[in-house]
Chain A
Amino acid sequence: MDKSVHQELTTYHDPCNYARKSERTFGHGYYEEPRWVLQQCCENFVEMYPNRANNFCCGGGGGAWASPYTEERIFYGRVKAKQIKDTGAKLLIAPCHNCRDQIMKSLRKEYDFMDVEVKYLWELVADSLIIEPREE
């Protein structure tokens, strides 16, 4: 992994399904694993508050991203937007399609933080990889 690719201050959004709901359903919440992966790629990491089991939903989950209640979805996201902005991070890792879309495509614009880049966790890994091409 090449940590020099992502030098900016980076924060992490716990998706409900990876975190709280996995803990409830499977007896194990995936809180630390994604943070470990993230910190193999980024040197400068900051937590948002609250986090892990008490993290706030992005507002796009449970089908809300595909639902017609746009105004309510954006209103919901105000809490998430504040959490992100309060960290001062310039890169946000959101390892869930719904969360990433809600934050990247909607909340950034609605709550004025277009300067924060949003990536999937696996996008962060892919962009940090030093790949040695295989011989055919």
Chain B
Amino acid sequence: MEPLLLSKRERRKLASQYAELCLTCGTCAGGCPVTGVDGLDVRKVVRLAVLGLDQEIIDSKFPWVCTMCGRCEHACPMNIDLLKLLRSARAMRDRDKVPGVLHKGVEMCLKTGNNVGIPEEDFKFLLEDLGAELAEELPGFEVPVDKKGAKYLFTINSKEPFAEPEDMMFWWRILYAAGESWTVASKNWEGVNWGLFTGDDEAMKEIVGRLVQNYKELECEYLVLPE
């Protein structure tokens, strides 16, 4: 291993202004279920960041096996923004090195309006079809698509129309029983923002912006992200 010349280290990008407050107490790592995986833990990540060894963190898989659950941050006696540190390490990876399907999902969402690329016609057909099925039990039920002035605009987790469509009926039953006015947008209805996971703030903002645009154009009172 090459000695680390602290005088020649690159300017630190990952270390937040608070990381130097770390007492190295290890409370963060002590309550984390993935401590030790990939030879790292939250406390060590903070030390690496303070030393300016950003690239080691970025190249390790630790920030990705971390679930960003925030238990470490909640426990930290010095209130260090550990989640920001870990998520920034994700953000600083080249996009083609983001593990698995996450970045592909982000790109798909930007391109098609949902993470799995369900075409609008298929989506509308599915809602109509499932709605008709539920109407056999609940007379008069239908899925209101693009209904202007509805009270609630519901987003949908694309997993449901893609793989578990009947699970959408749980909410529909509740809304029917409550007699609420609600709607689903035909475009950009994705309720899952994978930009959050990949550290991609720009994509995240764009995807949120589209939801807000739907909400404004449909003149709804509440935007619901039911998950």
Contact = CB atoms under 8 A, between A and B. Distances in A.
Interface in B114-143: 137-140
B74 A59 contact: no
Given A62-B197, A75-B34, A131-B176, A67 B102 contact: yes
Q: How large is the interface on A (under 10, 10 to 19, 20 to 34, 35 or more residues)?
A: 35 or more
Contact of B61 (A69, A75, A77, A97): A69
Contacts of A76: 33-34, 37, 65, 67
Interface in A58-93: 58-64, 66-69, 72-73, 75-80
Nearest to A64: B67
Given A122-B171, A126-B169, A61 B226 contact: no
Interface in B166-214: 167, 169-171, 173-174, 176-177, 179, 192, 194, 197-198
Nearest to A29: B74
Interface residues of B, number: 41
A126 B139 contact: no
Interface of A: 16, 20-21, 24, 53-64, 66-69, 72-73, 75-80, 95-98, 101, 120, 122-123, 125-127, 129, 131-136
Contact of B138 (A54, A57, A67, A133): A133
B68 interface: yes
Given A53-B74, A69-B61, A126 B170 contact: yes
Interface of B: 33-34, 37-38, 61, 64-71, 73-74, 99-102, 105, 137-140, 157, 159, 167, 169-171, 173-174, 176-177, 179, 192, 194, 197-198, 226-227
A132 B141 CA distance: 12
Nearest to A77: B33
Contact of B102 (A55, A63, A78): A63
B220 to A, nearest CB: 19
B24 to A, nearest CB: 22
Given A72-B34, A97-B227, A62 B173 contact: no
B171 A60 contact: no
